[in-house]
Amino acid sequence: MNIEEYSLSSQAKLLAEPLQQLINDGGIEVPMLSEVANKALLLAQNPDSDATEMAKLIQSDQSLAAHVMRIANSSAYTPMSNLVSLQQAIARLGMGVISEISLTAAIGSKMFNTPGYEEYVAGVWRHALATSLWAKEVARHCRSNVEVAFLAGLLHSIGRPAILQTIIELAKKQQIKLTEQDIRQLENNYCHRLSEKVVNSWKMPTLVIEAISAYRSDDQILTLSAQAAQVIVGSRFATFMLTDEIIDKKVLFVLPALTPLNLYQDEVENLLNKTDVITARLEGLSS
Amino acid sequence: MSNTEFNYDMLVIGSGPAGQKSAVQAAKAGKHVAIVELDSLFGGACVHRGTIPSKTLRENALRVKNMRQNAALADFDLGEDTEMVTLIDRLDEVLKSHDKYMREQMDRNNVERIHGRASFVDNVTIKITKVGGKVTTVRAKTIIIAVGSYPRTPDNIPIDHEHIFDSDSILSMLYLPSSLTVLGGGVIASEYASIFQALGVNVTMVDRYPTPLGFLDGDMTATFVEAFKQMGGTWIGNQNVEKVYWDGLSEVVTECADGTIIRSQKLLCAAGRLANVNALQLENAGLAINDKGLISVDENLRTAIANIYAAGDVIGPPSLASASMEQGRRASCNDLGIKIGKMSQLIPAGIYSIPELSSVGLTENQARQQHGDIIVGMAKFSEVARGLISGNTEGILKIVADAQGKKILGVMLAGEGSTEVVHIGQMAMLCDADVDIFIESTFNFPTLAEAYRIAALDILAKRPR
């Protein structure tokens, strides 16, 4: 059954009300953005900062430092080279890329406690990462801001694992047994509001917050901001790239979100030609 | 061919200033008109990427500059993390209002709006491809090409819209950069360079010519360069740029022919604009672009094909929104046989740099070349009460007159308010008035118009006796 057509079970309805109440009251705990990730983001945007500062910051978190070095040495980023120091890696990849790596490492799927759904959350996260990379390419093509597109793409579905964690905790507390479909339905109902809440509490740039607020999974809306439309297109391209199903790419030529972006078929085709590059970057960031 | 074979009397391609005015003019004459626009937004690059966005940023840059100048009134500092969106805060509102106004104007005049990409099938048939790929074909008796222009990208400038921008993407920056290199010395380069410098960005302008805005009077460009340097900007003229690249870390590197290396956080390449004709398939209509990449037209704005006209940036200079509007209107009038006067060559140029620059008629040099002896009258805004009151003291007004000090050959101004005040001079010239009109007329006091009187008195004192 299509999730949109699904009606909540009586058990799930019992949970929906307190869940709604928690959201309305701001009672859902938003995960903290790690200090290192926050600082990396600020450093990348600060014109006066340099590679040494960034290296120092990343070194302060051993697992992050190892993660950055692993990615920096991956074939997607620096083929045929062997980077030995963080500073060297930063010099090679640039502060912007390093902050992206730090951010993706810091807010990965492990940020949430969703027992039994780890694989699902990892999938959501991988899709968000792919969305961010595609949204960035779409933004570049549209001469729009690429940093906003990346961040908005990365965080557009951050509310999913956040609400899932709350649903699981609440169900356990109230000893309510939910079906898989109940959980998905509740998640779909509330994830967007949670995404908005997370980016607001993380004090993301205004345009990122606006893009995520304007983003709807229903892409029939033609009056979207360019940034929100870029996230929707990025998300659809990501789905197309990640799915195992055989999908005719022509479905991507008629996405309603292409209209506010003025992306004509030949331009969509040109963008999709970058699939291999995006896949390599995704593998790099996910390694 | 009978009229019934056509879907429209006139089809206009492009909804910028030229396209809008030609469509409205034809519709007002009772014609069935459609306008095809590639973008989902109406108004062309002028509205959405150029004139209006940059002027909105300029307004805030002026506020910042004024607050810094008036430190006694406001202790002001622009934060390092100021988002661009804050600096063009009213843009969305301005654009929406403008878009609404234009759409209403089109609807009121029964001009059909079509969102799609147009290309010629033949000289009366246009294929329109929609974003989703749907194709329709329409036929029109007259076609007006008003597709505008897009930024030129030199081969040695790898524009990525992330670190290295063109004039269409520069305002997409998320944060105000600490430093910016501006390649070029034309109108767009000068406007953005001075605006960002006024906002506190360290701007370096580089161009192959000795001065920016070479088409303007020497005193105007000198005033501009002086004001730019006073704000902290750097002008590097007579310099060829060989290579530009992002260093992969934090800076864009610009390597010049003489070995000079300029490093900046971001770079703007403003190396002119090209006619937006790539998708039109002009050859199907029997048309071709000229050696400048533009569409050639005669004095009636008619192309080599009798039923096809062109107007605006696509036909080349002056490439001003004001001139494009008039060209669009005239193209329609010419096609419809509506009697119009000769198009005035007295088109004022307005440069929205900081300070503002504007001129109409001949520059001092041009006047000397064409008329031999001339008399030049000058007024400094620092001598004008209004200039002093508003702190607008760096401006000047120049009147260039013939050897007798009578006929006005040109008027030019630098300083805030120039693009408005120049119209007084333009009107005097259009009415063929003598310089004396500025002495004999009474203007409001205190206003910048007083500068006309001062400059005219300067000429009066230099007249042959």
- Nearest neighbour of B39 by CB, restricted to A146, A253, A262: A262
Given this model, what pLDDT does residue B61 score?
Answer: 84
Are A160 and A188 in contact, with CB atoms under 8 Å apart?
no
Q: Which residues contact B390 (CB under 8 A, 6 or more apart)?
A: B416
Question: Contact B250/A94, CB-based, under 8 Å?
Answer: yes
Are A51 and A91 in contact, with CB atoms under 8 Å apart?
yes
| Best residue of A45, A86, A145, A268 to probe chain B, by most B CBs closer than 10 Å | A145
Residue B196's identity, in one-letter code, is F
Q: Does A63 touch chain B (CB under 8 A)?
A: no
Are B322 and B347 in contact, with CB atoms under 8 Å apart?
yes
d(CA A192, CA A97): 27
Q: Annotate B288-298 with b (16+ C-beta within 10 A) or e (fewer).
A: ebeeeebbbbe
pLDDT at A56 over 90: no
For residue B359, the cross-strand partners are B349, B412
pTM of the model: 0.81
Question: Contact A264/B177, CB-based, under 8 Å?
Answer: no
A285 exposure class (CB count in 10 Å sphere: 0-12, 13-18, 19+):
buried
Element holding B412 (H helix, E strand) = strand B408-414
| CA B255 to each of CA B247, B263, B396: distance values in angstroms, whole numbers, following the listed order | 12, 9, 36
* Residue numbers of chain B with a pLDDT score lower than 70: 1-4, 45-46, 70-85, 88-90, 249
- Can you read off the two tokens belonging to residue B353? 């740099």
Give φ, ψ of B87 to 5 degrees: -80, -20
For residue B34, the cross-strand partners are B11, B112
Mean pLDDT of A165-173: 89
Given this model, what pLDDT does residue B125 score?
Answer: 98
d(CA A163, CA A186): 8
* Cβ within 8 Å of A, B 38-67: 38-40, 49
Q: Which residues contact A37 (CB under 8 A, 6 or more apart)?
A: A102, A103, A105, A106, A107
Q: What is the CA radius of gyration of chain A?
A: 19
Given this model, what pLDDT does residue A198 score?
Answer: 84
More confident residue, A148 or B194: B194
Percent of chain A with pLDDT over 90: 22
More confident residue, A6 or B427: B427
* pLDDT bracket for residue A75 (50, 70, 90): low
d(CA B61, CA B332): 39
pLDDT at A52 over 80: no
- Selection from A140, A146, A143, A183 nearest residue A165 by Cα: A183
Given this model, what pLDDT does residue B372 score?
Answer: 94
User: Which residues of chain B neighbour A144 with C-beta distances below 8 Å?
Assistant: 161, 169, 172
Question: Contact B133/A46, CB-based, under 8 Å?
Answer: no
d(CA B426, CA B433): 10
Q: Tell me if residue B244 falls in helix, strand or coil.
A: strand
Mean pLDDT of A217-243: 81
* Cβ within 8 Å of B, A 212-241: 222
Given this model, what pLDDT does residue A216 score?
Answer: 64
pLDDT at A4 over 60: no
- Selection from B138, B111, B115, B145 nearest residue B25 by Cα: B111
- Can you read off the two tokens belonging to residue B216? 């303007």
Q: Which long-range contacts (CB under 8 A, 24 or more apart) does B304-310 make?
A: B305/B123, B307/B123, B307/B124, B307/B141, B307/B142, B307/B143, B307/B335, B308/B123, B308/B142, B308/B143, B308/B144, B308/B145, B309/B22, B309/B142, B309/B143, B309/B144, B309/B145, B309/B334, B309/B335, B310/B144, B310/B145, B310/B146
| CA B151 to each of CA A268, B170, B291: distance values in angstroms, whole numbers, following the listed order | 21, 11, 18
- Nearest neighbour of A47 by CB, restricted to B80, B131, B166: B80
Question: Contact B249/A46, CB-based, under 8 Å?
Answer: no
d(CA B457, CA B259): 50
Are A6 and A185 in contact, with CB atoms under 8 Å apart?
yes
pLDDT at A1 over 50: no
Given this model, what pLDDT does residue B225 score?
Answer: 96
A38, A41, A47, A52: CA torsion to nearest 10? 80
Mean pLDDT of A47-71: 71
- Can you read off the two tokens belonging to residue B319? 């490439």
State the sign of the Cα–Cα–Cα–Cα dihedral B46, B52, B57, B58. Answer: positive
Given this model, what pLDDT does residue B81 score?
Answer: 56
Given this model, what pLDDT does residue B78 score?
Answer: 61
Q: How far is A118 from chain B (nearest CA, A)?
A: 34
A-B Cβ pairs (cutoff 8 Å, strict): 85
Q: Does A177 touch chain B (CB under 8 A)?
A: no
Q: How far is A255 from chain B (nearest CA, A)?
A: 7
Q: Which residues contact B412 (CB under 8 A, 6 or more apart)?
A: B216, B217, B219, B220, B357, B358, B359, B360, B363, B397, B398, B400, B422
* Cβ within 8 Å of A, B 157-186: 160-162, 166, 168-169, 172-175, 177-179
Peptide bond into B355 cis (omega under 30): yes
d(CA B59, CA B72): 21
